[in-house]
Every structure is written in C-alpha cells, then in structure tokens.
Amino acid sequence: MMMEAPAREPVNFAGLLKDAVFAAAIAFGLFSLMLGLKTDQTLNNQMVLVPRPGLLATVVGLVFIGRFLIGYWQAINAGKIKKRKAAATPLALKIEKYGTAAFVGFLFVYPMMVLGTAGPSGAIKWIDNLGIQILIYIMLGWGLNIVVGLAGLLDLGYVAFYAVGAYSYALLATSEPVKEFMAGAVGPTFWPLWAFWICLPVAGILAAFWGVLLGFPVLRLRGDYLAIVTLAFGEIIRLVLINWVEFSGGYAGISSIPRPSFFGVPFNATESGFAATFGLEFTPIYRTIFLFYVILILALITALVSTRLRRLPVGRAWEALREDEIACRSLGINTVNTKLTAFAIGAMFGGFAGAFFAARQGFISPESFVFLESAQILAIVVLGGMGSLLGVVIASILLVGGVELLRELDFLKAYFGDNFDPAQYRMLIFGACMVLMMLWKPRGLISVREPSVFLKEKKAVSSDLVKEGHG
C-alpha cells in the first residue's frame, strides 16, 4: 500500500515573489555602479562613463530568478523529515570493489580507444596531458593516503618526496661520473637506456630515507604543529634545490634527462629504435603509450601494496594510531616505528612518482615542486575520502582532469568574448568545489571505511565513527 504523503502547506507564492523582488532590489543597488557603469577612455584621452543597462538587467534578473527558485525549493522541502544518514551498507563496499575493477579495465584499453578515435597525432594530448597527468596524481594520492588517510598524520610537504624522487633520477641519469663508470663497466649505450629502470628503485629508497629523516623530528608533534613542520620541510627541500646551484642547477633545473626505454629498446627513429624493431612506422605516440602503461603499472603497484599493507599488522597499527595513540601504546605498539614506517612508505611511492615525472618531462626545475602541488595532492586525498583508494581516483579525475577539460572549452569564447580563457577560472572553481564538498560531504566522496578483517560479514564502518587522526 502506498503511504499517503503528509498534507503540505500550500506554497506562499506572494511571499516568495516579495522575497525575490527584495533580493533583486539589493542586487540592483549593489551592481548599478559596479556593473551598470563602466569607465572608458575616448581617443582624446577623456574619461567617459559607458552605461551597460543590458548587463545590469541580466544580473538583476538572474538574482530574482535564483532567489525565487531557492525559496520555492526550500518551501516544497520544508515538510519533509530529513532522513537519518543511512548507516554504511555493504553496497558501498561492492560499488567500490566492482567500480575499481571496471575502472582498471577501462584504463588498460584507454590508450587504444583514444588512438582509434583521435588518430596518432590527436591522441598524444589525451593520453599524455589527461591520462598520464591524472595517473601521476592518483599515484601521489595513494601514496599520501598511507600517511594521511591511514596513519592520520597530516603531511603538507608531500611534494618534497616527489622532488627527491625526481631529482634522484635526474641527477643520477645525467651525472658524468656515473655515465663514465657505466660506460667503462657495461658499455656506452647501457646507461642512457637503462638509467630509468635502475634509478626507479633508487629514487624510491632515497625518498623513503628522506621520509624517515623528516619523521624523526616530527614524531612528538601533533595536529597543527605537525602540519606546519611538514610544510616547512617541503619548502626547505625546494629552497635548497633553488639555491644549491652547483648541485641541482638552481632555477635552471636539469634538462635532457634520458627518457625511459622499452626495456633497453629506445623510442627513436633509428634502426634499433622501438618502431623499427617491431616493424612499425615511427611516431612519437608509442613512447607516450608506453609511459602511460608504466605509470599505470606503478600506480597499480601502489594500490596493491597499500591494500595489502592495510590487512597486515603494520597497516592495522597505522589505523589504530589514527584512532587512539595512547591506546596503541598501552597495547605494546611502538608508535615511533609505526609512524616512521608510514612516513617512509608514503614517501617511497612519492619518490617513484617523482622519478617517473622526471623521465616523462625530460626536464625538471624547482618550479614543479611548489606548495600548491602538496595542497593539490592533499585535496585529492581529502576530497576522495580519507583511506579510500577509489575516492582518490575520482578526486584526481575531477581535480586534474577537470582543469585539463577547462582548456577544451574554447566554444565559450563565442559567448564571453575572445579574451575569455576558462582555464584562468580553475582556482575559483576549485575553491567553490571545496566549499561545496565541505558542506555536502565533509568526510570525502567515499566516506566509508572497509574493515581489514571480518568474522562473518564485512560491514562498512561509517565515517562518523572513524577518527581523523592527530593532524
């Protein structure tokens, strides 16, 4: 039997209209001088006022309609009882599981799909600017997720480890002594071809080492203090890279970093190049597609390791640390080591991503490792829902892909004039999205926690119970 809707009070249209007229009047008062008049210069260098009644009328009209619609929406929703936030269901976990599987499958066919639709020259943009860029941020997000999402340690300087990884690879690969040594030991062509594959683990290990180095002094800090010190750490690394010119090249950065080879086969137009070896026509797209798969595999390794770690004692200790540090110590958990492993493993994945970034760009400078990068990676983790891998993916696509898509909105110039550049508005949109998220879903897009072990039934834990850590 259908439930009968409770009797609702009729919507008071007169009141709504009055309200809207009032709002429009305020808008008229505000904008009549700000938008309604424009100062301009004539050819005689005289200042004149240009009235813009059309624009003013449009804005006031929009305010009128907007206020009316908001009022109407509030009125029809007033009678409804707000449903209690449904408890986390296993459905959410199912969505996460199958959603992730479907997404990974999609990623593997993505380059082929794009190649088929856009052709070799058009596909580069979609694979490189969109695909690789998003995957780098997904990987960074997953790495930072270990520190922030699992262990609950707010790290505002994550980009430092990204920088350590990038510079480790760039410096080792371009260093003359290393080149000479390798040329003497294995032959002259060895190092440029294999540098990436050898330096990748080295970059990760060095970043992990710097993670531990950062971890030691901040172990005693919590909350805001921890955030400030990690922020400072990120800036210190960047400033050292700028100012220690002999070491890192300063602002000029490091250029002609060797590109990764297809396990020893370079991507070039020569006889021994990738295209010739496999009997293909040479285009630069092969390298891009290869890079896409490299970062895809690296990101998947990150995801695999961090899901696995969550089910191991060390991962449970991280989460327990986020929930209650004192209780952890009362259970015999060495919180110092636990925090250090979180910093080190998070930093290691940042280092891998950094080495890949250097190899993909072929050029790095301190400009790439500013605080805004840290903020963006952190925003991805927070928007995604702390601790959720799928959330990080969605947030990366929205934040990184969204900005890239803004560049595609050239048709808007038809409406707003030729000077309109949608990409200029990315920070505004970014900020607005953040505010909306904080209002709508303060714990992120995927705000349920999946238990690491279960007896009978895996029940998701609602984010209302999950703590956010000490900072």
Between 306 and 368, CB nearer to another protein: 306
CB 386, min distance to another protein, A:
11
CB 209, min distance to another protein, A:
17
**Tokens describing residue 264:** 């020893």
DSSP string, 4-67: PPPP-PPP-HHHHHHHHHHHHHHHHHHHHHHTTEEEEE-TTS-EEEEE-HHHHHHHHHHHHHHH
> Contacting another protein (CB under 8 A), which of 18, 38, 97, 329?
329
Residue 265 phi/psi, 5° resolution? -100, 115
Between 144 and 150, CB nearer to another protein: 150
Between 342 and 383, CB nearer to another protein: 342
- Of 110, 80, 62, the C-alpha closest to 8 is 80
Contact region with another protein (CB under 8 A), list: 127-135, 206-214, 319-327, 401-409: 319-327
Between 81 and 465, CB nearer to another protein: 465
DSSP 380: H
Phi-psi region of 354 (alpha: psi -120 to 50; beta: other; left: phi over 0): alpha
CB 457, min distance to another protein, A:
5
**Tokens describing residue 80:** 């409804």
CB 293, min distance to another protein, A:
24
Between 67 and 322, CB nearer to another protein: 322
Site membership for another protein, residue 220 (CB under 8 A): no
CB 453, min distance to another protein, A:
6
Site membership for another protein, residue 330 (CB under 8 A): yes
Between 279 and 332, CB nearer to another protein: 332
Site membership for another protein, residue 317 (CB under 8 A): yes
> Contacting another protein (CB under 8 A), which of 305, 375, 405, 429?
305
In sequence order, what are the residues at sequence separation of 6 or more whose Cβ sits closer than 8 angstroms to the Cβ of residue 422? Answer: 406, 407, 409, 412
Helix, strand counts (H, E) of the chain = 19, 4
- Of 213, 222, 208, 104, the C-alpha closest to 154 is 222
Site membership for another protein, residue 245 (CB under 8 A): no
Looking at residues 421 to 460 of the shown chain, list those that interact with another protein (rule: CB under 8 A): 449, 451-459
- Of 164, 152, 149, the C-alpha closest to 209 is 164
> Contacting another protein (CB under 8 A), which of 8, 80, 308, 407?
308
- Of 429, 319, 348, the C-alpha closest to 142 is 348
CB 465, min distance to another protein, A:
4
Between 18 and 308, CB nearer to another protein: 308
Place of tokens 């990038």: 166
Contact region with another protein (CB under 8 A), list: 126-134, 218-226, 258-266, 323-331: 323-331
Between 19 and 323, CB nearer to another protein: 323
Site membership for another protein, residue 361 (CB under 8 A): no
Task: Please answer whether residues 215 and 339 qualify as being in contact, where contact means their C-beta atoms are separated by less than 8 angstroms.
Answer: yes
Task: Please answer whether residues 447 and 385 qualify as being in contact, where contact means their C-beta atoms are separated by less than 8 angstroms.
Answer: yes
What's the Cα-to-Cα distance from 419 to each of 37, 42, 327, 408, 414, rounded to whole Å?
Answer: 20, 21, 59, 15, 10
DSSP 316: H
Contact region with another protein (CB under 8 A), list: 6-14, 100-108, 320-328, 355-363: 320-328
CA 157 vs. chain centroid, Å, equals 14
> Contacting another protein (CB under 8 A), which of 56, 309, 347, 364?
309
Site membership for another protein, residue 130 (CB under 8 A): no
> Contacting another protein (CB under 8 A), which of 320, 348, 379, 392?
320
Site membership for another protein, residue 84 (CB under 8 A): no
**Tokens describing residue 142:** 């997953």
Judged by CB under 8 A, how many residues of this single chain contact another protein?
A: 40
CB 139, min distance to another protein, A:
18
Report the alpha-carbon distance of residue 259 to residue 256 in Å, rounded: 8
> Contacting another protein (CB under 8 A), which of 52, 222, 316, 441?
316
Burial status of residue 321 (CB atoms within 10 A of its CB: 0-12, 13-18, 19 or more) = buried
Between 254 and 466, CB nearer to another protein: 466
Binding site for another protein (CB under 8 A): 305, 308-309, 312-314, 316-317, 319-320, 322-324, 326-335, 341, 449, 451-459, 461-463, 465-467
